[in-house]
A and B are shown apart, each in its own frame.
Chain A
Amino acid sequence: MKIDINAQACGNPLDCRLCLDRCPEKVFGTYPRKGRKPGVAADDWVITPIFGSLCTGCLECVSFCSHKAISIQK
């Protein structure tokens, strides 16, 4: 499975987190886009597929994503 996430369409994933919560195999993870720096709160996060090989292609994340940011191809 090839999972593509359009970071621009996604925005800040911590505002919705639907893909993180809804994925039955828990394929996705999130991290601060610019890393953690002393004195700066990490508020700009980005979603990424971590365990991509576990993706079953159920398309839950695609149907729940209100920003239409995720696309999955075989």
Chain B
Amino acid sequence: MCEFCTEHGEGKKWYMVMKNYSQELYAQKGRAEFLEHFMANFEEGNAKALAKLDAVRKRSLVLRFIRLMSNRKEKATHFGQVVPIEDVEQIIDMQSSIVRIPCVCRSLLTGRQTRYCFGLGIDPSGILGKYPDYAHSFEVLDKQEAKKILRSFDEKGLVHSVWTFKTPYIGGLCNCDQDCLAYRIQVKEKLLPTMFRAEYVAAVDWDLCSGCKKCISQCQFGAILYSNTHQKSNINVMQCYGCGVCRSACATGAISLKSRNDFANLPW
């Protein structure tokens, strides 16, 4: 169980609790204004803040202090968790409205408009309709379409994650590869924690593994190793985020997800 499950989960996984998607929750604490500000200033705000953070990365005391302060702030405002495709499908079933919107991370890091992100239950035309960049590319989806698109993302190796807007309200479902800002900040640059790992870790069944190595190229986190001696794949569980996208590359179905709780000493 991650920190949010104990705080907001009511004994379940926190992203499985209907209340965390409710319109009542969305109406509180100025979430609509927060969302508008977040989307409108994402590129500029992050580009400037991260450049400053990058400048102090060699001064470890300063970085440690900023990490401590911003981690508290991020967890209260905008934090994420990696979610495997089965759980994503259950989340989709709970939604009243699903829209596909352009990804702000890829806009910042690649300068391209790519519609990989999903807004859950938010009213995009009311909040973001004012911004022509967003307004022209909204796509309202029904549950079946959304699931089909998410499955195809899974096969491409995109990692799904849920994101809060003023925790515990969940308003976004991201499908990330290495152009994702959260991935860049947490996994690649190791500057700040931005998201939790999934409630799962992957495991390989060696009786079924054919040693084709296809899962290795699918993993965004470099967590799959190959043993030449055994001609089988292996998971480095300390690096595994439990997203489960490796399973779609496995022709023999050798990879499955285990609960992260069953391991005593894994990072979240």
- Note all chain A residues with C-beta closer than 8 A to B184: 26, 51
Number of chain A residues whose Cβ lies closer than 8 Å to a Cβ of chain B: 25
B110 lies within 8 A of A49 (CB): no
Interface string of B130-163 (1 = CB under 8 A from A): 1111000000000000000000000000000000
Q: Are the CB atoms of A30 and B43 closer together than 8 Å? A: yes
Determine if A54 and B189 form an interchain contact, defined as CB atoms under 8 angstroms apart: yes
Per the 8 Å Cβ criterion, residues 35-74 of A in contact with B are 35-36, 38-42, 45, 48-54
Most chain A CB neighbours (cut-off 10 Å) among B47, B48, B107, B111: B111
User: A29 touching B132 by the CB < 8 A rule?
Assistant: no
Verify A20–B51 contact, CB threshold 8 A.
no
Instruction: Bin chain B's interface residue count.
Output: 20 to 34
* Chief secondary structure at chain B's binding surface: helix
> Does B50 belong to the interface (CB within 8 Å)?
yes
Complexed CA–CA distance, A48 and B54 (Å): 13
Which chain A residues border B108 with CB–CB below 8 Å? 29-31
* Contact mask for chain A residues 8-27; partner B; CB cutoff 8 A; 1 contact, 0 none: 00000110010011000010
Residues of B50-105 at the interface with A, using a CB-CB cut-off of 8 Å, are 50-51, 54-55, 57-58
Known A36-B133, A39-B132; judge A31-B43 contact (CB<8 A): yes
Using A29-B43, A31-B44, A38-B130 as known contacts, say yes or no to A17 and B54 having CB atoms under 8 A apart: no
Q: Are A35 and B51 neighbours in the complex by a CB distance under 8 Å?
A: no
Contacts of B204 in A (CB 8 A): none
Across the interface, name the chain B residue whose C-beta is closest to A52: B54
Q: Which residue of A lies closest to B109 (CB)?
A: A29
Give Cα distance in the complex from A49 to B51, angstroms. Answer: 7
B44–A52 CB distance below 8 A: no
B110 & A17 in contact (Cβ 8 Å cutoff): yes
Asked whether A26 lies within 8 Å of B109 as measured between CB atoms, the reply is yes
Contact assessment for B55 and A52 in the assembled complex, using a CB-CB cutoff below 8 Å: yes
Besides A45-B111, A52-B55, 7 new A-B residue pairs in contact (Cβ under 8 A), listed by A number: A26-B184, A30-B111, A36-B41, A39-B130, A42-B131, A48-B48, A51-B54
Some 17 contacts from A to B, beta carbons below 8 A apart, are: A20-B109, A26-B179, A26-B184, A30-B47, A31-B43, A31-B44, A31-B47, A32-B44, A36-B40, A36-B131, A40-B132, A41-B132, A42-B133, A49-B51, A51-B184, A53-B55, A53-B57
